[in-house]
Amino acid sequence: MQKATFGAGCFWGVEATFRRIDGVTATAVGYLGGSLKDPSYEDVCSGQSGHAEVVEVTFDEDRVSYDTLLETFWACHNPTTLNRQGPDVGTQYRSAIFFHDEEQKAKAQASVRALTSADAFPRPIVTEITPTSTFYAAEDYHQQYLEKRGGAQSCHIP
């Protein structure tokens, strides 16, 4: 099993999107990329911890490729808005790919170049591509939040 970690705004809808992919064996929402050890939701929402809301995806690379996960990432949010997804504003909602190894880094960078060359978005992509760091799982009530609330498809505007 491999891991991939993405920040694409509110983690509730992003998690639900990745959970539907055949070959994704687990997901967890949490916080990554900040300076505070063991942040709470309130810490992250304050914008002071530096963390992004992220989804950690565990996947079987024999069933789904990292490239497919990247395609899903690009399709499920707007990577051209800095620190914003729909009505959600703040650094915690930034577009980010946290790579786990050099191969993921290279694939993420290549996907940005390809999308930019294809003029896939009307504005420049502002997604950060950085190494993963300590992943802090969000509180239990955030895990599979939309599924627990009746299967809503999304909580943000892609």
CATH number at residue 53: 3.30.1060.10
The order of strands in the sheet holding 2-8 is: 128-131, 95-99, 2-8, 52-59, 24-32, 136-137
Taking CA atoms, 58 is separated from 2, 27, 63, 67, 97, in Å, by: 6, 6, 12, 14, 15
Residue 142 lies in a domain: yes
The answer to whether residue 110 sits within a structural domain is: yes
Q: How confident is the model at residue 157 (pLDDT cuts 50, 70, 90)?
A: very low
Residue 151 in this model has a pLDDT that exceeds 90: no
Q: Is residue 154 part of a domain?
A: no
Q: Average model confidence (pLDDT) for the chain?
A: 92
pTM equals: 0.92
Structural domain includes residue 6: yes
pLDDT of residue 152: 57
CA-to-CA distance for 126 and 96, rounded, in angstroms? 9
Q: What is the pLDDT averaged over residues 125-131?
A: 98
Domain presence at residue 128: yes
Tell whether 155 is covered by a domain: no
Residue 155 has pLDDT above 70, yes or no: no
Q: What is the model's pLDDT at position 154? A: 55
Domain that holds residue 12: 2-148
Residue 41, C-beta contacts closer than 8 angstroms, at least 6 positions apart = 138, 139, 142
Average pLDDT of 9-29?
Answer: 94
Phi first, then psi: give them for residue 89, nearest 5 degrees.
-125, 135
Phi and psi at residue 18, to the nearest 5°: -70, -30
Query: Nearest-CA neighbor of 5 among 120, 110, 108?
Result: 108
Q: Is residue 9 part of a domain?
A: yes
**pLDDT over 90 percentage in the chain:** 81
Average pLDDT over residues 94-115: 98
CB neighbours of 43 closer than 8 A, spacing ≥ 6?
36, 49, 51
Over 50: is that where the pLDDT of 31 sits?
yes
What is the number of domains present in the chain? 1
pLDDT at 119: 96
Which residues are the active-site residues?
10
Residue 27 lies in a domain: yes
pLDDT at 127: 98
The mean pLDDT of 91-104, rounded to a whole number, is: 97
- Do 27 and 15 meet the contact criterion of CB atoms below 8 Å apart? yes
Instruction: Let me know: does 44 contact 92? Beta carbons within 8 Å.
Output: yes
